[in-house]
Structure 1
């Protein structure tokens, strides 16, 4: 689990009739099931909860309001007093929530609504606008053993943030587009805003990766949509962990497997790995669709199966083809007629060259 974590909403697209269906106008898919997710800044999820309405808070957790209780439940797997930072938006942020997490050694930062800052008087939007883009106001207060920083920053519009570990300073300049001047300008940006923008997008990153190759299967069962979503989430999580391991070993991004290929490898392994060949009964079908499918195969070469299938030692039978083809073992220049029925690749099998054994064991 990384140091920087975020809690945000995730939408599972669904437009059927169900009492759990929610409407979120700010999401790309506005109708569906709402899932509350705890994820790292790299997109790896660590905990989630399906939104079902009001939930009774467990007795071992304090009650800090309906939205804040969600964060406390999701934050249970986070190690205490390990300097973890947690980010969330204004639907969750409140003073009691941040103080409760601070007692557990978890620092927080999030956008906050003005009505959740009682007794705090910040500069009004009109005054900040007159000062210009990049202007901000900061208030600091000591509450118990925690120091709370409330920062209001004006860019194209105002936004307020609350944190217990970072304030407005140091202030740095960021690039912003100026519509009047038609060019990019430098705008002062408080440290808490930069920290929030940098680490809040973990759940959105996970959402975008799931949406790239979402499993689309029509069904009348409402829970099927959730099941397929969690399968997609599991696959994307596995790919993110794979990329993390590859980066730790120094492998370049060009050498790493892309998400589409990663999912296709998983599908091929689940379909073939460790399974015997099943012969279809009845007369073989020769349809126009089958002929078109053969013509659409990319390139003249037969693809090599994934290692999970190639090395599973199950149902790899040798058959003889009418035509010769290039042996698939690297370095072999033979053109045998023998091939593996399961892998559908040609392999040498002679007294001097047993490529069939090498292909399925090395």
Structure 2
């Protein structure tokens, strides 16, 4: 199903940013073959994860990563807790943020996902879901109404040239 919806995005050098629910090595490999990129947080228990990256113990501020032959980078970075990342667009490069080093992959991921986080937060303020509905009706109404309304609002504001609400 995903291939049918994403066919027009392949071979266009686009980057797909995913959270740890969708990030897997297999998807990254397929996107890399077709000219796309995948950047996302990674669950430690996924198949095909490099065991030595997952099991490496790090102190705060340390980074460990591996790059495969097909340009898939799996990174582990320790800030307050361990952060696992997968990227076909980035290597293990860092940049200075204030007085500490931060992975470029994490900076790009946070910038791309910030819009989704704001959208989810705004949708939670005014849900169209009623108490009398069954759970599956609530999911459908929320998906159709709440997300659509909030995303439409952001599209209108962005098209007007405003940066913030």
TM-score by length of 2: 0.80
Partner residue in 2 for 1:243: 157
Counterpart check, 1:173 vs 2:87: no
Partner residue in 1 for 2:68: 141
CA offsets 1:196-238 (integer angstroms, 9 cap, x no match): 2221234322211111222253324445423432222222222
Count residues in correspondence.
162
Counterpart check, 1:219 vs 2:132: yes
Deviation for aligned residue 1:138: 2.2
Partner residue in 2 for 1:97: 27
Partner residue in 1 for 2:86: 162
Deviation for aligned residue 1:84: 1.0
DSSP-derived class of the 1:151 partner: strand
CA offsets 1:22-49 (integer angstroms, 9 cap, x no match): xxxxxxxxxxxxxxxxxxxxxxxxxxxx
Change (3 A) 1:119 1:246: closer
Change (3 A) 1:228 1:91: closer
Deviation for aligned residue 1:87: 1.5
Q: 2:52 aligns with which of 76, 96, 121?
A: 121
What does 1:58-77 align with in structure 2 at a 5 Å threshold? 72=2, 76=6
Counterpart check, 1:203 vs 2:101: no
More helix by share: 2
Change (3 A) 1:153 1:240: same
Counterpart check, 1:231 vs 2:145: yes
What does 1:33-44 align with in structure 2 at a 5 Å threshold? none
CA offsets 1:47-84 (integer angstroms, 9 cap, x no match): xxxxxxxxxxx5xxxxxxxxxxxxx3595265222221
Structure 1 gap ranges (5+): 1-57, 59-71, 176-185, 259-362
CA offsets 1:224-256 (integer angstroms, 9 cap, x no match): 423432222222222111111100xxx686xxx
Q: Distance in 2 between matches of 1:162 and 1:252?
A: 29
Indicate conservation of the 8 Å contact 1:120/1:139, yes or no.
no
Q: 1:109 aligns with which of 36, 39, 62?
A: 39
Indicate conservation of the 8 Å contact 1:141/1:148, yes or no.
yes
DSSP-derived class of the 2:6 partner: coil
Counterpart check, 1:86 vs 2:16: yes
Structure 2 gap ranges (5+): none
DSSP-derived class of the 1:219 partner: coil
Q: Distance in 2 between matches of 1:78 and 1:220?
A: 37
Partner residue in 2 for 1:150: 74
TM-score by length of 1: 0.40
Counterpart check, 1:192 vs 2:115: no
Q: Tell me which structure has the larger Cα radius of gyration.
A: 1
Indicate conservation of the 8 Å contact 2:10/2:31, yes or no.
no
Change (3 A) 1:109 1:216: closer
Root-mean-square deviation over aligned CA pairs: 2.7
Indicate conservation of the 8 Å contact 1:101/1:108, yes or no.
yes
